[in-house]
Structure 1
Amino acid sequence: MDVFKEYLANIDHTEHRARTEKVLVWITKEFPNLMPAIKWNQPMFTDHGTFIIGFSVSKNHLAVSPERAGIIHFSDDIVQAGYEHTKQLVRIPWDRPVDFSLLKKMIEFNMVDKADCSTFWRK
């Protein structure tokens, strides 16, 4: 988690920092083979050099980016969890619980779907 230490320290809101750290720690424990990284000033996880999932913090939510394919694949689940999404990210409001089972499904989907991917992003 040292890779995320500076990023987390720069989150001013204590509760937002704690929740973001909880999510990042959970992923490192649940998926120990994923590589944590900071790219474009955002925490993310990669597998064999390809993007799997990324995060960013805003005033009203924790943004989760599983790439567009992940959003499309899980659109109904995202809405059912009570989250909004765009084509590129899912918004988890700070006042709603994190649906870790949904995060797990999105990560697993990307790991399988991108198993043979040789680029950082899908083409």
Structure 2
Amino acid sequence: METFADYLATIENRQNRARLEEVLDWVSKRFPNLAPRIAWNQPMFTDHGTFIIGFSVAKHHFSFSPEKIVIDRFSDEIKRAGYEHTKQLVRIRWDDPIDFPLLEKMIEFNIVDKADCSAFWRK
């Protein structure tokens, strides 16, 4: 979590900071092969240099972005989990439960789907 320490320190609300730290720590432990990094002022995880998932924070929620194709594929499950989403990101209100199994499926999908991808983003 050292990679994300400076970013997390910018989140003023301690509970929100702890919440995002919990999620980032979970991703790090569940997917130790992913590389944590900060890019575009956001914590993210990559695999062989390609983007897998990124996170951002707002006043009332945090978001994660796995790329549009993943959100399209899991849209129904995202809605069933009670989360709002756009074409590019999923919003989780700070006090909502985190559907870790859904997050895991989305990350796993990206890892497999981008296994042969040589670019950072899908084209």
Q: Same fold, TM exceeding 0.5?
A: yes
| Residue aligning to 2:73 | 73
Q: Does 1:91 align with 2:88?
A: no
- Alignment partner, residue 27 of structure 1: 27
Displacement of 1:102 in angstroms is 0.7
Q: Does the residue aligned with 1:4 lie in a helix, a strand or coil?
A: helix
Partner of 2:117 in structure 1?
A: 117
> What residue in structure 1 maps to residue 53 of structure 2?
53
Secondary structure of residue in 1 paired with 2:37: strand
Counterpart for residue 9 of structure 2: 9
Q: Which amino acid aligns with 1:38?
A: I
Q: 1:5 Cα deviation (Å)? A: 0.4
Between the aligned partners of 2:53 and 2:83, the Cα distance in structure 1 is 17
Pair 1:39-2:17 in alignment: no
For 2:12 and 2:70, the matched residues in 1 are separated by: 29
TM-score normalised by length of structure 1: 0.99
Moved over 4 A (4+): none
CA-atom RMSD in angstroms: 0.4
Offset, 1:95: 1.7
Letter of the 2:56 counterpart: S
Structure 2 gap ranges (5+): none
**TM-score scaled by length of structure 2:** 0.99
Mapped partners of 2:74, 2:65: distance in 1: 12
Matched, 1:82 2:92: no
Instruction: Return 5+ residue gaps in structure 1 as ranges.
Output: none
The AA in structure 1 aligned to 2:27 is I
Aligned-partner Cα distance in 1 for 2:62–2:74: 17
Q: Secondary structure at the match of 1:74?
A: helix
Give the aligned residue type for 1:80.
R
Q: Any idea what the Cα deviations from partners look like across 1:16-70, whole Å, max 9, x if unmatched?
A: 1000000000011000000000000000000000000000010111101010011
Corresponding residue for residue 18 of structure 2 = 18
